[in-house]
Amino acid sequence: MQNKKVIAILTTAVLSTTLLAACGSNNNDPNTNTPANTANDQPANTNNSTDAPANDGGNKADDTPKENKTITFSTITNYYTAGLEIAAEDYHKLHPETTVKIDIVSDNTTYQTSFQAKMAAGGDDAPDIVHANLLGDTPNNNIAKGFILKLNDFIEQPNPYNNGTSLKDGIVADYWKNATDSANEVYMLPFDLVGTGFFYNKDIFSKAGITEAPTTWEALFDALQKIKDAGTIPLAMSQATGSDYEGWMVGAFLDWSSRSLIPDTWLQPGDARDTPEADKINSTLKYSPDDPFFDVGAVGDVERQLALWKSGKYDATGPAEQKTWTTLKKLSTYLQPGYATMKDADAYQLFISGKAAAYWNGSWQVGQILKDQKSLGDKAFQWGTFKFPDFATPDPNFPGHPRGILVPGHQLSVTAKKDQETVARSKDFLQFLYSPAEAQKVFSATIDAGQFVQGPSLVKGVTLPDEINAYLDGFKVAGNMAPISLLTGGNPAAEPNATAEGKSLELQYYNDKISLDEYLKKRAALAKKTNEQYIADNKYDLDPKTNP
Please state the rounded mean pLDDT for residues 73-98: 94
Residue 189 in any domain: the answer is yes
Q: Any residues with CB less than 8 A from the CB of 87 and at least 6 apart, and which? A: 100, 432, 433, 438, 441, 442
Nearest to 195 by CA among 380, 341, 361: 361
For the cut 90, the answer to whether the pLDDT of residue 121 exceeds it is yes
Which pTM value belongs to this model? 0.82
Cβ neighbours around 512 below 10 Å, total: 8
For the cut 70, the answer to whether the pLDDT of residue 145 exceeds it is yes
Please, what is the average pLDDT of the chain? 88
Query: Where does the pLDDT of residue 138 fall: very low under 50, low under 70, confident under 90, or very high at 90 and above?
Result: confident
Please state the rounded mean pLDDT for residues 427-453: 91
Residue 418 in any domain: the answer is yes
Please state the rounded mean pLDDT for residues 42-68: 46
For the cut 60, the answer to whether the pLDDT of residue 9 exceeds it is no
CB 253 within 8 A of CB 324: yes
Please state the rounded mean pLDDT for residues 91-98: 98
25, 287, 402 from 293: Cα distances, Å: 12, 9, 12
- The answer, yes or no, to whether the previous bond of 548 is cis (omega within 30 of 0) is yes
Query: Where does the pLDDT of residue 63 fall: very low under 50, low under 70, confident under 90, or very high at 90 and above?
Result: low
Query: Where does the pLDDT of residue 499 fall: very low under 50, low under 70, confident under 90, or very high at 90 and above?
Result: very high
Please state the rounded mean pLDDT for residues 143-153: 96
DSSP summary character for residue 216: B
Residue 451 in any domain: the answer is yes
Residue 400 in any domain: the answer is no
C-alpha 499/C-alpha 24 separation (Å) is 23
Cβ neighbours around 191 below 10 Å, total: 26
pLDDT of residue 241: 87
pLDDT of residue 189: 98
pLDDT of residue 159: 98
17, 131, 333 from 204: Cα distances, Å: 31, 39, 18
Residue 434 in any domain: the answer is yes
Residue 457 in any domain: the answer is yes
Residue 266 in any domain: the answer is no
DSSP string for 291-349: -TTTTTT--B-HHHHHHHHHHT-S-TTSHHHHHHHHHHHHHHTTBPTTTTT--HHHHHH
pLDDT of residue 2: 45
* Domain CATH number, residue 151: 3.40.190.10
User: What angle is formed at CA 455 by the lines to CA 449 and CA 459, rounded to 5 degrees?
Assistant: 95
Segment among 117-131, 223-237, 465-479, 499-513 with least mean pLDDT: 465-479
3-state helix, strand, coil in the chain (%, to 5): 40, 15, 45
Q: Which domain covers residue 149, as residue numbers?
A: 34-193+407-465
- Total count of domains within the chain: 1
Nearest to 458 by CA among 433, 425, 424: 433
Please state the rounded mean pLDDT for residues 471-481: 88
Q: Which residue has the higher pLDDT, 50 or 514?
A: 514
Q: Which residue has the higher pLDDT, 107 or 58?
A: 107
C-alpha 540/C-alpha 546 separation (Å) is 9
Query: Where does the pLDDT of residue 443 fall: very low under 50, low under 70, confident under 90, or very high at 90 and above?
Result: very high
DSSP summary character for residue 130: E
pLDDT digits 0-9 by tens, 308-353: 999 999 999 999 999 999 999 999 999 999 999 999 999 999 999 9
pLDDT of residue 14: 35
C-alpha 86/C-alpha 442 separation (Å) is 7
Q: Which amino acid is present at 25? A: S
Residue 152 in any domain: the answer is yes
Note the Cα 414 to chain centre separation in Å.
19
